[in-house]
Amino acid sequence: MSELVLDGVTAGYGGATVLHGIDLQVGRGEIVVLLGANGAGKTTLLRAISRLIDLRGSARFDGVELRGLSAERVVRLGISHVPEGRGTFPDLTVEENLRAAAYPVRRAARRAAAERLERCFALFPRLAERRSQAAGSLSGGEQQMLAVCRGLVPGPRLLLLDEPSAGLAPRVTQELFAVLPQLAAEFGLSLLLVEQNARLALRIADRVSILETGSIVRSGDAASIGVDDDVRRSYLGY
Amino acid sequence: MTLFIQQVVDGIASGVIYAALALALVLIYRSMTLVNVAQGEMAMFSTYIAWQLTAWGLPIALAAPLVVGISLLGGMAVERVVIRPVQHRSVLDVLVVTLGLLLIFNSAAGAIWGTTAKRLPSLFPDDTVAIGGVTFGLETLGIVAVLLVVCGALAALFRFTSIGLAMRATTSNRESARLCGIPAHRMLMLGWGLAAALGGLAGVLIAPRVFLDPNMMLGVLVYAFAATALGGFDSPLGAVIGGVIVGVVENLAGVYVGFIGTDLKVLVPLILIVGVLLVRPRGLLGSPRVARV
């Protein structure tokens, strides 16, 4: 059963339409990877889902229509969006970043959020060591870990991850991709992942969709897409 | 020596009032990178409301907190009605809107209450107390005490409460705040409310020392600008320290530098502004402007 169902989603900025009728589904516990060249509309799609920008068409999460909701409301429904460029609060300490992420959590669920916060610190001990440092002083890799944790603390069921490997050293990227499926399983998450590093992304993906100039041109199992010659030439480079 | 200490303490009393208005400027600057030039006029308008309440027979001790509350709501209303519709425009556009607000509040106060100066009763008894051979006005000490408590309360709000954390998060990265489920617009609105409340308090405290007229806060705003330039436009602590320094320097210069006297006192903050901008553009505690490229 699908949690996120996009049906003919169109979105853009100002007068310019970037996405033309996107159909996409993310099932419960699934890891779906969105591939595509720069400017294909991957980030726009995530921003439309999290309601940072307007969308036309229909986007339902657990049967709830997202179209008329505010970004704040979408978070409360259980969708966390970790934007490209990390989206942490540079002036706040690591711990304050994570506590700010717990803002929408209802009183009754505060304990669970605090436990998730501690779980994040256990998963990323380097963040725990730096919990009272300003987030802006962290390295790129640490900030990305923090951004992912920030997304996890409110207890989402769907995590939208935009280019988590951008600007990271290859080793750190490897680490991150090793931990993502583990996080998804442990926190009971579905994942919609936008990634340039197709090879790594395919390794953890259940399904893959390919976006080209605002439309989805291919969708399929990670296994079958990964062996497709066209896809390999265009996105994997071998 | 006694005179010197008295002058310093007197300067601190004006200084904390400048600091309150400077803090109001910093609150809004930090969250929107916007200098609200109407901050002083909003404070003046609040002070008139306090005067009106006392004219209706309310004691000032009751009118003052009431006005702080009214200013809080009024500031939020200004953000919601006037600023929010234009806030996605360029900084210059919004600045022009705040200039318009300045004129509106200034003329509205003149139209409603007239331009003849009025006298607002002081919150504190007109009495003195001697501490270690130096005589202080109770008002002076009262002003310092009230604003110290208010600054402490604000610091606690930002540091220890979840709403304070949400406001700081909104200031730090508005889009990420929304992605955290923080209603960023409401936080900005609250910021405007707090700034207006601080301004209102500053007005009520300073009005008995000057006279209440529609242009009362123009001078104070200049001092507050000097304080923020001195302390750093994005540093709340810097604004408070800057305010106190401006107050003290202004007072001492008026007394000890012969040719300045009371008439040229207003030059002091201007000289401070220019001096600081020349030597250390980001102010004493301001953060350096860095951009990742």
> What's the complex ipTM?
0.90
Q: Which residues of chain B does A89 touch, with a Cβ-Cβ cutoff of 8 Å?
A: 168-169, 172-173, 176-177
**Which letter does DSSP use for residue A104 in this model?**
T
Q: Which residues of chain A does B176 touch, with a Cβ-Cβ cutoff of 8 Å?
A: 83, 87-89, 150
pLDDT for B268 equals: 80
Chain B closest CA to A124's CA: distance in Å?
A: 20
Chain B closest CA to A100's CA: distance in Å?
A: 6
Query: In a mutagenesis test of the B interface, which of A43, A46, A52, A91 is the best target, namely the one with the most B β-carbons within 10 Å?
Result: A91
Q: Are the Cβ atoms of B165 and A99 closer than 8 angstroms? A: yes
Residue A72, chain B, CB below 8 Å: the answer is: yes
Euclidean distance between CA atoms B54 and A157, whole angstroms:
57
- What are the strands of the beta sheet with A64-65, ordered from one edge? A16-27, A2-13, A55-61, A64-65
Residue A166 burial by Cβ neighbours in a 10 Å radius (0-12, 13-18, 19+):
middle
DSSP A151-187: HHTT--SEEEEE-TTTT--HHHHHHHHHHHHHHHHHH
Kindly identify which residue of chain A lies nearest to residue B180, measuring between CA atoms: A101
Query: In angstroms, what CA-CA distances link A118 with A103, A108, B7, B123?
Result: 16, 18, 54, 49
**Which letter does DSSP use for residue B266 in this model?**
G
pLDDT for B293 equals: 46
Helix (H) or strand (E) run with residue A129 in it: helix A125-129
Residue A114, chain B, CB below 8 Å: the answer is: no
Other beta carbons within 10 Å of A2: 16
Residue A78, chain B, CB below 8 Å: the answer is: no
Kindly identify which residue of chain B lies nearest to residue A149, measuring between CA atoms: B180
Q: Which residues of chain B does A76 touch, with a Cβ-Cβ cutoff of 8 Å?
A: 181
Phi first, then psi, for residue A132 (nearest 5°) are -105, 15
Chain B closest CA to A14's CA: distance in Å?
A: 13
The answer to whether B251 and B46 are in contact (CB under 8 A) is no
pLDDT for B288 equals: 67
Report which of B210, B246, B227, B189 is spatially closest to residue B21, judged by C-alpha positions.
B227
Counting as low any pLDDT under 50, the low residues of chain A are none
Chain A closest CA to B184's CA: distance in Å?
A: 9
The answer to whether B35 and B29 are in contact (CB under 8 A) is yes
Which among B168, B176, B183 has the least Cβ separation from residue A72? B183
Token pair 């809107």 is found at B97
Euclidean distance between CA atoms B237 and B242, whole angstroms:
8
Residue A200, chain B, CB below 8 Å: the answer is: no
Chain A closest CA to B41's CA: distance in Å?
A: 31
Q: Are the Cβ atoms of A100 and B183 closer than 8 angstroms? A: no
Q: Which residues of chain A does B180 touch, with a Cβ-Cβ cutoff of 8 Å?
A: 75, 100-101, 103-104, 150, 154
Residue A50, chain B, CB below 8 Å: the answer is: yes
pLDDT tens sequence for chain B (293 residues): 788 888 898 899 889 999 999 999 999 998 888 899 999 999 999 999 999 999 999 999 999 999 999 999 999 999 999 999 998 888 899 999 999 999 999 999 999 999 899 999 999 988 888 888 888 889 889 999 999 999 999 999 999 999 999 999 999 999 999 999 999 999 999 999 999 999 999 999 999 988 899 999 988 998 999 999 888 888 888 899 999 999 998 888 887 876 766 667 778 878 888 888 888 877 777 776 555 44
Chain A closest CA to B180's CA: distance in Å?
A: 5
Chain A closest CA to B261's CA: distance in Å?
A: 43
Residue A88, chain B, CB below 8 Å: the answer is: yes
Query: In angstroms, what CA-CA distances link B55 with B60, B106, B121?
Result: 10, 20, 10
Binding-face residues of A in 136-195 toward B, CB within 8 A? 150, 154
Token pair 């309440």 is found at B53
Query: In a mutagenesis test of the B interface, which of A13, A92, A93, A152 is the best target, namely the one with the most B β-carbons within 10 Å?
Result: A92
Copy the structure tokens of residue B24: 């109001």
Helix (H) or strand (E) run with residue A22 in it: strand A16-27
Q: Are the Cβ atoms of A89 and B172 closer than 8 angstroms? A: yes
Euclidean distance between CA atoms B92 and A172, whole angstroms:
42
